[in-house]
A = this chain, B = another copy of it.
Amino acid sequence: MPRRPPRPPPLQAEFDEEERDAVLAANRAFYRAFNERDVDAMEHLWAPGGAMVCLHPGQAPLHTRADIMASWRGILRHPEAPGVRCIDEWVIGRAGLAIVVCREVLTGGQLMATNSFVRLGNGWRMVGHHAGPVPSIERARPAPAVPATPAVPRDRRKLH
């Protein structure tokens, strides 16, 4: 956001509408990275270091950036990774920390995710992702089409 004036340090800043929009933009960027299979964007989106946690459905928790990124590389490079659409975002935030709870409409089902973000000098970065299955709701439109992938043998590795 190059046209914005310099911000005060996070602890003095309020969590205003502008910050809320910035958190929602970060959350959308997360799902865009997923849909576009963009490993670099996913790498950038997560905080560069420090404490973080990633909970893929039914899998053991991941607590290091290295493990979390390895899991996302596996998902994004998987030939049968589903498309995902994020709806029903619910946001709560304070200066420097925000949580987005949202519904993930996948090709083969629906999850709810709790995504956590911290505000660093260069914007909101993810520090937490917790996703788990929920009953599907009908009003959800289908997830976006999955990018064309080459014909490959069916891969049974676990997906997001």
Contacts and interface: CB of A to CB of B under 8 A. Distances in A.
A49 to B, nearest CB: 13
Given A51-B90, A61-B134, A94-B97, 11 more contacts: A11-B12, A60-B134, A61-B103, A61-B112, A63-B90, A92-B116, A93-B97, A94-B96, A94-B118, A99-B116, A130-B130
Contact of A114 (B12, B55, B96): B55
Contacts of A114: 55, 114, 116, 128, 130
A61 to B, nearest CB: 6
A10 B97 CA distance: 13
Interface in A116-150: 116, 118, 127-128, 130-135, 137
Contacts of A95: 11, 94-96
Interface residues of A, number: 37
16 contacts: A11-B14, A55-B101, A55-B134, A58-B133, A59-B134, A59-B135, A92-B118, A94-B96, A97-B97, A97-B99, A101-B130, A114-B114, A114-B116, A130-B130, A130-B132, A131-B132
Given A55-B114, A130-B112, A135-B60, A97 B92 contact: yes
A53 interface: yes
Nearest to A14: B11
A57 interface: yes
Contacts of A55: 101, 112, 114, 132, 134
A157 to B, nearest CB: 16
